[in-house]
């Protein structure tokens, strides 16, 4: 029986990914900053561990407690809408600490066991906004684009060990806490110089006639990345992400 470790499982994509793997008879190590086993269906194949990807000691303890795993899914992350001119550098650092450095640090902690066993898969969940520039998310987009670049180069290094690395690129998701969590980090949205742009962008986000990404779209894409050796490096997740990917081909 194979084991997957997933970050950011308290809600949204991570929660659905954990459910998806559990339903397919995998052992699941679901991690979150504040562990809550009640958000997932009871199972003997489920372990819920505390993990803060910005804390090296938390990473060490979680990887040790998880034991051998077959797949690592780096899903934890957050973003915030702000004009690039006005986003505080402290917020930029916080975004990169979670989205970029946290992903890299946890990957580095897991890779030795993959390399030694000559098997394993790293699946990094980034974003379809790395395919197409959008205003007001410069710091978030940059943090996810950095993970893309890291993963693409890492994949070339790991081929010799039989270890794979893949990217899953979700689109806009209306049914997760991502937007809710971002509010505390938004800055400059009321600045008169950007008020018109902000109004236009937020109106587009609230347009229910455009395609969006559901959490299960992401879970299916992660499953493909984890289980299909022939899967491509970049796997868009969701109708909007697939449309953007088609535009840039």
Q: Which residues contact 70 (CB under 8 A, 6 or more apart)?
A: 2, 3, 4, 119, 120, 121
* pTM for this predicted structure: 0.92
Distances (CA, A) of 79 to 27, 150, 173, 214, 219: 30, 19, 13, 18, 20
Do 53 and 10 form a contact (C-beta atoms < 8 A)?
A: no
Domains contained in the chain, CATH given: 3-248 (3.40.50.720)
User: pLDDT by residue for the chain (249 residues), tens digit each?
Assistant: 999 999 999 999 999 999 999 999 999 999 999 998 899 999 999 999 999 999 999 999 999 999 999 999 999 999 888 899 999 999 999 999 999 999 999 999 999 999 999 999 999 999 999 998 889 999 999 999 999 999 999 999 999 999 999 999 999 876 544 444 444 445 557 787 888 888 877 777 676 667 889 999 999 999 999 999 999 999 999 999 999 898 876
Do 131 and 145 form a contact (C-beta atoms < 8 A)?
A: no
Q: How far apart are CA 72 and CA 247, in angstroms?
A: 30
Do 7 and 76 form a contact (C-beta atoms < 8 A)?
A: yes
Question: Residue 86: phi, psi to the nearest 5?
Answer: -110, -5
Active-site amino acid positions: 140
Q: How far apart are CA 186 and CA 92, in angstroms?
A: 11
SS3 131: coil
């Amino acid at each position: 029986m194979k084991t997957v470790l997933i970050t950011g499982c308290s809600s949204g994509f991570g929660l659905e990914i954990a459910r998806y793997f559990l339903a397919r008879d995998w052992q699941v190590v679901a991690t979150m900053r504040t562990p809550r086993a009640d958000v997932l269906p009871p199972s003997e194949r489920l372990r819920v561990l505390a993990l803060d990807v910005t804390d090296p000691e938390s990473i060490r303890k979680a990887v040790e407690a998880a034991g051998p795993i077959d797949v690592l899914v780096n899903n934890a992350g957050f973003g915030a809408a702000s004009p690039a001119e006005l986003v505080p550098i402290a917020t930029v650092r916080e975004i990169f600490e979670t989205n970029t450095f946290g992903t890299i640090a946890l990957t580095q902690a897991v890779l030795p066991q993959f390399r030694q066993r000559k098997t394993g898969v790293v699946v990094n969940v980034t974003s379809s906004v790395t395919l197409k520039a959008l205003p007001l998310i410069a710091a978030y987009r940059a943090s996810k684009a950095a993970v893309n670049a890291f993963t693409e180069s890492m994949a070339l290094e790991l081929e010799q060990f039989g270890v794979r690395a893949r990217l899953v690129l979700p689109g806009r998701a209306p049914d997760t806490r991502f937007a809710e969590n971002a509010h505390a980090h938004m800055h400059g949205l009321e600045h008169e110089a950007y008020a018109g742009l902000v109004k236009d962008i937020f109106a587009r986000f609230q347009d229910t006639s455009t395609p969006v990404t559901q959490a299960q779209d992401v879970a299916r894409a992660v499953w493909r990345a984890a289980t299909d050796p022939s899967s491509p490096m970049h796997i868009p997740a969701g109708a909007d992400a697939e449309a953007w990917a088609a535009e840039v081909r």
